[in-house]
Amino acid sequence: MSKDLSQNLQKAPQRALLKALGLSDEEIAKPLIAVISAKSEIVPGHMHLDTLTDAVKSAVYANGGTPVAVPSIGICDGIAMGHAGMRYSLPSRELIADGVESMLLGHAFDGAVLVPNCDKIIPGMLMGAGRVNIPAVMVSGGPMLSGFYNGRKISFSSVYEGLGAVQSGKMTLKDLSEIESRACPGCGSCCGMYTANSLNCLAEALGMALPGNGTVPAVASERLRLAKKAGAAVMNLVANDITPRMIMTKAAFMNALAVDMAIGASSNTVLHLFAIADECGVKLDLNTVQRISDGTPNLCKLSPASHYDMEDLGRAGGISAILNELNKIDGLISGNALTVANAPLSQNFEDAEILNGEVIHTVASPLAPYGGLAVLRGNICEDGAIVKRSAVAAEAMTFVGKAKVFDCEEDAVNAISSGGIKKGDAVVIRYEGPVGGPGMREMLAPTAALAGMGLDKDVALITDGRFSGATRGLAIGHVCPEAAAGGKIALIKDGDKIEIDISKGKLNLDVNAKEMGIRAKKLKPKDSNPGGWLLRYANLVTGANTGAVMKKKF
């Protein structure tokens, strides 16, 4: 696109502005490459992205392009967690996608290297790349190293679980203070198989990132070399006019979903893969998710479900080894899918091996014969709900409990903290969906508090909102339709019996249809009365079962 600026006589005024940036005629004549970085000083996952941006730029220069750094916003979910700021996290995905579109098309770039690292920034940038459809490569900032305390690994989720342990008398305040200071030792995305790292891994399977993107530590020099490879790769894509929609095909999304199930990724990946696919003209649905999950063995159990973290996964062979192992199942992996290396995906994994069988299991001896996520349906989730079943204890896969109902996260957390939740309770948190929140807040505080108290196997959590990838236990999110959209989760009352059977994909309220009808007639849905641009978001966002994407027509 930049040729119109560099070669068109009528674009002399635009060239004058490029020269104001210090660009020479020779630089203006070369392909113009945006290096879109989410660098900021408030997000640990992004604090070091300027070093990666510089590495990308050096490779773009070396391969005949002119790189230009441009910014992206990014919210740290951990810092936003548990207060009003979390309402802006998922909606920011749309702002990021819009920002990528605006910067790329507004300045006639020929290609882009995307440099994100955290939860909404990764899908937001990929959504923008799919929408604009000019050559693009993603290279993330990489995972944080684990913290250590008392001879064991700890992470961000350890702090939240520590709160529950203190409140139940299982931990001292001194221990919690030490964990707080040691849990997050430096830059990078939090070290477990949380949402950011899940998506960084899936970007490899999707073909939009090079091998190692999901697992090379943020502090490793290998991460800088990976950034340089990304800079070289985008120039190859520009030369061959290979665009994101040629890479992010239906086959690519099927590959990503298979890896998703094998690694026990965050439940939020469903939201984000659906949204990225939507921008690429690929349709995904929950039935597809369930089908792939049923046919994909779970090969990894990583933090928070175990003590293994992203660095361990990388040392064990990484996503390439997992792809190679999954490829042993006929028809599961499309090895001929194109990648940003301008080569088939099979080239990334054909020589990869499992180097630690404790971290990556084989398809012949998996942790479970089915994938890490499961879709549930029933009379309070007719359009589906999602559970990370790889993080659910075997004895909690079936559950019958009495409802304790709350209309916001804060009320539920207060009840848990004050001892108001007991074994056998089914905590229902509603009006936290995309519309009702608005913003579908990610909730780690209630799940971690229960885990810290030792109740994660004995209490269910059910919400039309969503849970952090750091969550473990019987946490069911994405209940659709949500309460604010007339969903039957709004009809549940304290004391109602709720039945869960994850193996059968069932979530039901044991209340007869007549009583449900009576409740529906009396229902007065809660109005969140959003202000600012969240008002616009609440009026335009769709349900979680479609990825919480924005309406195309209104």
Q: Report the alpha-carbon distance of residue 501 to residue 249 in Å, rounded.
A: 34
Q: Is 461 helix (H, G, I), strand (E, B) or coil?
A: strand
Q: Report the alpha-carbon distance of residue 538 to residue 105 in Å, rounded.
A: 27
Is 468 annotated as catalytic? yes
Q: What is the CB neighbour count within 10 angstroms for residue 461?
A: 26
Q: Which of 158, 189, 334, 468 is catalytic?
A: 468
The residue type of 244 is P
Contact, 176 vs 163, CB < 8 A? yes
Extract the tokens encoding 381.
């989730």
Nearest to 299 by CA among 271, 330, 321, 270: 321
Q: Is 32 helix (H, G, I), strand (E, B) or coil?
A: strand
Q: Is 506 helix (H, G, I), strand (E, B) or coil?
A: strand
The residues near 29 (Cβ < 8 Å, ≥ 6 apart) are 6, 7
Gyration radius of the chain's alpha carbons: 23
Q: Report the alpha-carbon distance of residue 83 to residue 79 in Å, rounded.
A: 9
Extract the tokens encoding 353.
């091996």
Contact, 453 vs 417, CB < 8 A? no
Number of H helices, E strands in the chain: 22, 16
CA dist list (Å): 113 to 35, 185, 231: 5, 28, 7
Residue 410 has, within 13 A of its CA and on its CB side, a CA count of 5
Extract the tokens encoding 271.
């939201």
Q: Where are the alpha helices (DSSP H) in 297-428?
A: 310-315, 318-326, 346-349, 409-417
Nearest to 56 by CA among 141, 144, 143, 145: 141
CA dist list (Å): 56 to 1, 97, 187, 265: 21, 21, 19, 28
439 class by beta-carbon count within 10 Å (0-12 exposed, 13-18 middle, 19+ buried) = buried
Q: Report the alpha-carbon distance of residue 493 to residue 18 in Å, rounded.
A: 63
Q: CA end-to-end span of the chain, whole Å?
A: 31
Q: Which residues are catalytic?
A: 468
